[in-house]
Structure 1
């Protein structure tokens, strides 16, 4: 599918890597060997060239279907990074002003304390709109016939706290508000089709937001941690590390009406089964917070122009100046009320702690629930894609962190 790199991946991994990136390949293979992964892919581009392209394990345990280089899976909140890309394309073309009030494009938004809220505030998770008072179902967000219900819920919502303050991650509502804003700016356009036409297809990325039925055969089965096991691990963690992120998350989860519950539990998911997002109704829908699918390679390729000042292989996707605002944090919280950890945002992209995905503060992207990751480092011109089907119970997957650490510790980065 892609040009093979000079070094074969160590067993049991498949794929290849460039000289200087052996530490990444060894970490990936070790995670497979130890059973830390069911199936996964990890791809890295540097300065426009693929330097790591690894995959392995199983896409489905029951059938023993292998994970292939083009195996795709639902990417959860990695989706938000793609939505941010679409809005940055609009801003680069002069169609969106981050500092303009949202009502400039969407008059009905200016209700119940949201008047004057800027686009940057809304899409920087600083609008106090982390949850909705209107109870929604999955049918409300996947069925076009229910669009009016969702619109009223968004327009009538009051901020849960003061707008402009760095309080809480808009885990689901970000995608709802961002999609509506996009459609107000581009009447009649489909967000998923726009991304496909303007970004994914020209870049050779297999990512889809609104995945056609023809790719159903390529979708890996998701394996979230069983609820009793997940709760047991969180309880053990809370007892042994009471100040850890996961311990604080557990405290929020058991507290009725907590910001974390409000952010994650609406729309209601039958049986609290997150695999509903990997089923056809959700995959077909353009859910701007969770429903994109793709392979690790596809995720990395989607970030290529964002890692290279808006340009890739001679084609300019957006003005270099359009990304400068993303390099610095536009907002930062030392303890996000939803995620219970330090985190920040810049115009729709996540800005993590420097010791996590990249040591360079200019880097940005978006992780997804369970561990998936799409990330860009404009300093080293690195684009990262990580996709897997065994979901971690922690806020940030140790597997993703280990791969990123190995990458930045590799001679290929250090000496290159």
Structure 2
């Protein structure tokens, strides 16, 4: 399989690594993008969009990067904070009284956004619900007790993150996560990224596939992804209904170029994210909020309101191997988005070719 695209002078090692991943069969469909100082210096496409290997991966191919999606759920929530409809540190029950029961009375939006709300997975009572039953899944979180007192422990809210934020903005801001993202966040940032892919964009979407038949069972995070059934079932996630729905924790569909450009602009004092949120919220978004052992990741992590960070980067990735980051050391934004669900070693090798390190996610 040929690798298409370009690399600027000095980035030849990225092409070499990516070509090797494709040649060795470790990659069957992916895009790589790097932005530096306002221009794209790497744009590479390799492999195929589809399982039948009939449609080559292109620069505008959309793919679902799982938890990288959460970054944009965070931004939608912060828009509601910016507008005064929500507060980061008021109890969620102030806006959503039904939620404030069984130990969740003092849970705050900040705890939700930093994965400390004690609801890292849907409760067993939600096991019979359909993956796209938004109302039912939100109701299951309302009625459930947290797994630990909010604010006392850490575990990425793997599938629940978007439903929690959606419930909070519905109750407190009188709108929805979908509306905040598509009406405010997406146009303000100029993102080629969709929660609910429009009809006219569906032909660009890549099919997810497993690198190994038992990939879902190999995941350390598997126990947090079991309910509701289907989030790891490519038959379901590749379906049109799922692509056109909103499942905030995982199903943004976007391109490598869009994500690398977003991360390249993320920290700028005159960038679009700061213009969207204002200086105070932008600073809060990027600041380290908590460092602890994350039970879902299985390692020690520093979380901001929407990212993991350390001395070298501000980043977010998703199960299956997709990742995007801003290199605080090398001053570039990067994205590796893949449809072949495996580990993060491919993105880590691309990062190493750029002088970055994706393996360190601990204390800032």
TM-score, scaled relative to structure 1: 0.77
* CA distance in structure 2 between the partners assigned to 1:185 and 1:208 by the alignment: 24
CA change 1:202–1:19 in 2 (3 A) is farther
Q: Which residue of 2 aligns with 1:279?
A: 239
Structure 2 residue corresponding to 1:112, chosen from 75, 83, 102: 102
Q: Which residue of 1 aligns with 2:70?
A: 80
Offset, 1:381: 4.8
1:224, 1:391 within 8 Å by CA — same for their partners in 2?
Answer: yes
Instruction: Give runs of aligned pairs for residues 365-376 of structure 1, distance below 5 A.
Output: 365-376=315-326
Offset, 1:124: 1.0
Q: Which residue of 1 aligns with 2:91?
A: 101
- 1:332-351 Cα shifts (integer Å, max 9, x gaps): 223x222222223222x231
Instruction: Give runs of aligned pairs for residues 108-147 of structure 1, distance below 5 A.
Output: 108-136=98-126, 140-143=130-133, 147=135
1:132, 1:262 within 8 Å by CA — same for their partners in 2?
Answer: no
Which protein has the larger Cα radius of gyration, Structure 1 or Structure 2? 1
Q: Is there any run of 5+ residues in structure 1 with no aligned partner, and where?
A: 1-10, 235-245, 250-259, 411-416
Q: Which residue of 2 aligns with 1:222?
A: 208
1:48, 1:312 within 8 Å by CA — same for their partners in 2?
Answer: no
Q: Which residue of 2 aligns with 1:398?
A: 345
Q: Which residue of 2 aligns with 1:325?
A: 284
Structure 2 residue corresponding to 1:152, chosen from 139, 143, 148: 139
Q: Provide the secondary structure at the position in 2 that maps to 1:25.
A: helix
- 1:128-148 Cα shifts (integer Å, max 9, x gaps): 11123243369644246xx2x
CA change 1:90–1:276 in 2 (3 A) is same
1:295 aligns with 2:255: yes
CA change 1:43–1:338 in 2 (3 A) is same
1:203, 1:301 within 8 Å by CA — same for their partners in 2?
Answer: no
Structure 1 residue corresponding to 2:155, chosen from 143, 146, 168: 168
Structure 2 residue corresponding to 1:265, chosen from 211, 218, 226: 226
- 1:107-133 Cα shifts (integer Å, max 9, x gaps): 221111011112111221112111232
Offset, 1:304: 4.7
CA change 1:403–1:307 in 2 (3 A) is farther
Offset, 1:63: 4.2
Offset, 1:264: 1.1
* CA distance in structure 2 between the partners assigned to 1:85 and 1:282 by the alignment: 22
TM-score, scaled relative to structure 2: 0.87
CA change 1:54–1:109 in 2 (3 A) is same
1:37, 1:390 within 8 Å by CA — same for their partners in 2?
Answer: yes
Q: Is there any run of 5+ residues in structure 2 with no aligned partner, and where?
A: 358-364
Question: What root-mean-square deviation, in Å, do the aligned CA atoms of Structure 1 and Structure 2 show?
Answer: 2.8
- 1:7-65 Cα shifts (integer Å, max 9, x gaps): xxxx9321112232222222222212222110110112223322221112111242421
Q: Which residue of 1 aligns with 2:361?
A: none
Structure 2 residue corresponding to 1:341, chosen from 285, 292, 299: 299
1:304, 1:312 within 8 Å by CA — same for their partners in 2?
Answer: no
* CA distance in structure 2 between the partners assigned to 1:85 and 1:17 by the alignment: 31
Q: Which residue of 1 aligns with 2:354?
A: 407
Aligned length: 357
* CA distance in structure 2 between the partners assigned to 1:261 and 1:398 by the alignment: 19
- 1:59-88 Cα shifts (integer Å, max 9, x gaps): 124242100111111221111111112223
* CA distance in structure 1 between the partners assigned to 2:197 and 2:210 by the alignment: 21
